[in-house]
């Protein structure tokens, strides 16, 4: 996924398939994962993210397998990765990338899981929420995601994400996560050094997520 994002002609968009979230509740419980990710691919995304957590996001491992059987683009398994076994699952289900969430892991655990992922030829997207988590970043991670949404208040703070990106410097591929609802916000992130953009709710809240993604990318180009 990292190489796709860095291509000169890339949209940088990682389009997400998710049915619900803790902050929004049900977002879309009728969309078919194969249809949606297939349309995402045709629209020109750099990759897709598929939720496999059921309790909070309504996802399943079947969603990831179905997506893998449908598309050739890189797939991110998005889940709460806290156990070695989950990484072997991700590989067997067809994931190319896994998510590590700094807020639920120690820096030591992040390093351990990053090494394990690498041994399985999985890329790592490390997600940060605030400056206190910058010490979780290690040189082995492929991408660093900055979640613009405060996990306690669920408010979006774009300025904080930009400040954090500046502190990371240019060494890492930076991904903006959450709160990207229009082209101007994406362009603001891009001008601030972000390479990729994880977008889910903006597409999934519509009756046709694939078409919403296609229209978004058409406007971007």
What would the pLDDT profile of 71-127 be if each residue is shown by its tens digit?
A: 999 999 999 999 999 999 999 999 999 999 999 999 999 999 999 999 999 999 999
Report pLDDT for 210: 96
Question: Would you call 195 a catalytic residue per the annotation?
Answer: no
Single out the catalytic residue among 16, 123, 133, 214: 16
Report pLDDT for 4: 96
Report pLDDT for 151: 62
Average pLDDT over residues 36-43: 98
Single out the catalytic residue among 89, 127, 133, 201: 127
How many residues are listed for the chain in this entry?
221
Report pLDDT for 154: 64
Closest CA to 122 of 149, 150, 142, 152: 142
- The CATH class given to the 2-220 domain equals alpha beta
Query: 């049900």: which residue's tokens?
Result: 26
Alpha carbons 5 and 52: distance in angstroms, whole number: 23
Question: Would you call 147 a catalytic residue per the annotation?
Answer: yes
Percentage of residues in the chain with pLDDT exceeding 90?
81
**Helix, strand, or coil here: 163?**
helix
For the chain, helix (H) and strand (E) counts, in that order, are: 9, 10
Single out the catalytic residue among 18, 49, 70, 161: 18
What integer best gives the mean pLDDT of the chain?
93
Question: Would you call 24 a catalytic residue per the annotation?
Answer: no
Q: What is the pLDDT of residues 142-182, one digit of tens each?
A: 999 999 876 666 677 788 788 888 888 888 999 999 888 89
Q: Please say if the pLDDT value at position 212 is more than 80.
A: yes
Question: Would you call 127 a catalytic residue per the annotation?
Answer: yes
Phi, psi of 189 (to 5 degrees): -65, -45
Single out the catalytic residue among 28, 66, 148, 178: 178
Single out the catalytic residue among 147, 148, 161, 195: 147
Report pLDDT for 162: 87
Report pLDDT for 169: 80
Structure tokens at 122: 């999985």
Average pLDDT over residues 133-139: 95
Q: Please say if the pLDDT value at position 66 is more than 90.
A: yes
Question: Would you call 167 a catalytic residue per the annotation?
Answer: no
Report pLDDT for 163: 87
Single out the catalytic residue among 123, 133, 177, 214: 177
Question: Would you call 16 a catalytic residue per the annotation?
Answer: yes
Residue spans of the domains in the chain: they are 2-220
Question: Would you call 62 a catalytic residue per the annotation?
Answer: no
């Amino acid at each position: 996924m990292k190489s796709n994002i860095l291509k000169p002609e890339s949209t940088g968009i990682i389009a997400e398939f998710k049915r619900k979230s803790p902050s929004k509740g049900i977002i879309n419980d009728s969309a078919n994962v194969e249809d949606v990710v297939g349309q995402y691919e045709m629209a020109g995304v750099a990759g897709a993210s598929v939720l496999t957590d059921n309790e909070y996001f309504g996802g399943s491992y079947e969603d990831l397998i179905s997506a893998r059987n449908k598309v050739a683009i890189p797939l991110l398994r998005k889940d709460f990765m806290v156990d070695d076994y989950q990484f072997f699952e991700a590989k067997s289900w067809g994931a190319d990338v896994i998510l590590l969430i700094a807020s639920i892991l120690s820096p030591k655990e992040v390093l351990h899981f990053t090494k394990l992922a690498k041994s399985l030829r999985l890329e790592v997207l490390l997600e940060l929420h605030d400056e206190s988590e910058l010490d979780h970043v290690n040189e082995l991670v492929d991408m660093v995601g900055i979640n613009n949404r405060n996990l306690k208040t669920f408010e979006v703070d774009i300025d904080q994400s930009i400040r954090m990106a500046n502190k990371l410097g240019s060494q890492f591929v930076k991904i903006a996560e959450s709160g990207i609802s229009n082209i101007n916000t994406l362009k603001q992130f891009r001008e601030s050094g972000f390479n990729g953009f994880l977008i889910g709710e903006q597409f999934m809240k519509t009756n046709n997520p694939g078409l919403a993604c296609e229209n978004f990318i058409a406007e971007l180009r």
